[in-house]
Structure 1
Amino acid sequence: MFLCFRIKNMDVRTGLIVLFCLMGLTWAQPVKYIDCGSTTGKVIGVDINPCPNQPCQLHKGNSYTVNVTFTSNVDSDKSTAVVHGVVGGIPIPFSIPVPDGCRSGIQCPIKTGNTYNYQASLPVKTEYPSIKCVVEWELRDNGNEDLFCIKFPVQIVN
């Protein structure tokens, strides 16, 4: 009986170790970002998955998950994401599959003082050039004001 108990404990410990190792591989990396004018909200944190190093290397043909945690300073019935790659100071639109923030992890209507976790996919098209740039990601409220505006550096690679 003692042997069965010991084997079960060892199996549980081994399982937990494996689980924690796997979780470490899948957790998103916090990203260094600049707030570029969040007027009606406050950014708490940003992470991108996968992004083991910074600047994040975005491989053509892959898709990345961008997670932004923010607090709203306004009520808003809707939210719309606008994404640009800034190259040489010129903003170039990035297409995202779902620009509606209310379909990207946010429970709408947005309420003043609540914290939200916006989550969106950033597909990197194969036709994008291999280049270093800055991604500017805005989430706009009813009045077209920025609930958040963040900038973070990336490198698009093959």
Structure 2
Amino acid sequence: MKVQLLALAVGATLVIGAASLHVKTIPCKGDHVEAASVNFIDISPCTENPCALKRGSTYELTISLETGPEPAEIPKLTTHVDAIIHGIPIPWPGFNYTDACKDCGLSCPLSPNKAYSYAIPLNVISPIAIETVVKLRIEDDTTNVNLLCNELQVKVV
């Protein structure tokens, strides 16, 4: 009985682990000041890098981050999600969750030196299959400083 429960627990862990993946990210190019550090970014369900996003599907993008010592509090945040097409940022089609405090599970104001988890649905409504860079930026509305800015590669299939 104990062996069966252990096998069931291991199997469930493998299935759950295969459903999401810490995607490879890089800090945004250019002069982007950041007030937080990213622990990881997951896309669920996703099993490979770059993540293959099926058109007509919705994925959950989860960000684990830690705020730095400055600013003292962050009262309001805006999320920007862009696809970078031939070097030009284009707003991600169908992304309507721009208020990070209201729409994404962050409890604002954010405090300094604290860990947070942030989740947003990512609808894939692109009419074409394309491999692109997604630029994810969360901006402090009061200072116009980026809380974070990361880029990740995806394939829309």
Q: TM-score, normalised by structure 1?
A: 0.84
How many residue pairs are counted as aligned between the two chains?
A: 148
Identify if the C-alpha distance between structure 1 residues 124 and 10 changes in structure 2 by more than 3 Å, giving closer, same or farther.
Answer: same
Q: Which amino acid aligns with 2:46?
A: C
Partner of 1:109: 109
What SS is found at the alignment partner of 1:109?
coil
Which residue of 61, 80, 83 corresponds with 2:81?
83
Partner of 1:49: 44
CA contact (8 A) 2:63 2:119 kept: yes
Identify if the C-alpha distance between structure 1 residues 35 and 25 changes in structure 2 by more than 3 Å, giving closer, same or farther.
Answer: same
Q: Which amino acid aligns with 2:138?
A: L
Partner of 1:92: 90
Root-mean-square deviation over aligned CA pairs: 1.7
Q: Which amino acid aligns with 2:113?
A: G
Percentage identity across aligned positions?
Answer: 28
CA contact (8 A) 1:97 1:121 kept: no
Which residue of 5, 11, 20 corresponds with 1:12?
5
What SS is found at the alignment partner of 1:119?
strand
2:24 is aligned with 1:32: yes
Distance 1:13 1:25 in 2: 18
What SS is found at the alignment partner of 1:16?
helix
Q: Which amino acid aligns with 1:92?
A: I
Q: Which amino acid aligns with 1:47?
A: D
Identify if the C-alpha distance between structure 1 residues 9 and 24 changes in structure 2 by more than 3 Å, giving closer, same or farther.
Answer: same
Identify if the C-alpha distance between structure 1 residues 14 and 60 changes in structure 2 by more than 3 Å, giving closer, same or farther.
Answer: same
Decide which structure has the larger Cα Rg and report it.
1
Unaligned segments of structure 1, at least 5 residues: 1-7
Q: TM-score, normalised by structure 2?
A: 0.85
Unaligned segments of structure 2, at least 5 residues: none
1:144 is displaced (CA, Å) by 2.1
Partner of 2:122: 122
1:22 is displaced (CA, Å) by 3.1
CA contact (8 A) 1:138 1:150 kept: yes
1:62-114 per-position Cα deviation (integer Å, ceiling 9, x unaligned)? 01111111122321111110111001101111132321111312121101111
What SS is found at the alignment partner of 1:12?
helix
Identify if the C-alpha distance between structure 1 residues 56 and 12 changes in structure 2 by more than 3 Å, giving closer, same or farther.
Answer: closer
What SS is found at the alignment partner of 1:92?
strand
What SS is found at the alignment partner of 2:120?
strand
